[in-house]
């Protein structure tokens, strides 16, 4: 099955700095890669996603890049703010025998210090 590796497990930055989280996936059939932000005690919130026919996507301070050849995708957050502090999960979506499932990485805890 699909396997998603995510690094780093924790990331501490100063307010205003950039943060980069990297993920790799194993199954070349995966073609959709969402990123979720999870705050303490809450469910995952979709923040950005990218499909396999696109190499890069940007939404204000957040951008995602995808390298299908290397099976690698990354989340970039610029001008970080304390409210960006949360756990971020990458995921890969694959269709299996008529259903689709998300395989998640283990998460990155981002701490933004004022």
Partner 1 sequence: DAGVTQSPTHLIKTRGQHVTLRCSPISGHKSVSWYQQVLGQGPQFIFQYYEKEERGRGNFPDRFSARQFPNYSSELNVNALLLGDSALYLCASSPDPPRAGNTIYFGEGSWLTVV
Interacting residue ranges for partner 1, rule: CB under 8 A: 4, 6, 29-32, 34, 36, 42-46, 49, 51, 89, 91, 93-107
* Cβ-based nearer residue to partner 1, 77 or 90: 90
Tokens, residue 19:
């943060």
Tokens, residue 65:
């890049």
| Beta carbon of residue 103, minimum distance to partner 1 (angstroms, whole number) | 8
* Cβ-based nearer residue to partner 1, 51 or 58: 51
| Beta carbon of residue 99, minimum distance to partner 1 (angstroms, whole number) | 3
Q: Is the dihedral of CA 79, 83, 86, 90 positive or negative?
A: negative
Q: What 3-state DSSP class applies to 34?
A: strand
**What is the number of residues in the chain?**
114
């Amino acid at each position: 099955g699909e396997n998603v590796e995510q690094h780093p497990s924790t990331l501490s930055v100063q307010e205003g700095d950039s943060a980069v989280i990297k993920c790799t996936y194993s199954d070349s059939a995966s073609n959709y890669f969402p990123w979720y932000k999870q705050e303490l005690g809450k469910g995952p919130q979709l923040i950005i996603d990218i499909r396999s026919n696109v190499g890069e996507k940007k939404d204000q301070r957040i951008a995602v890049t995808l390298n299908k050849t290397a099976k690698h995708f990354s989340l970039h957050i610029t001008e970080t703010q304390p409210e960006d502090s949360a756990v971020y999960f990458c995921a890969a979506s694959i269709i299996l025998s008529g259903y689709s499932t998300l395989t998640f990485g283990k998460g990155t805890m981002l701490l933004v210090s004022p």
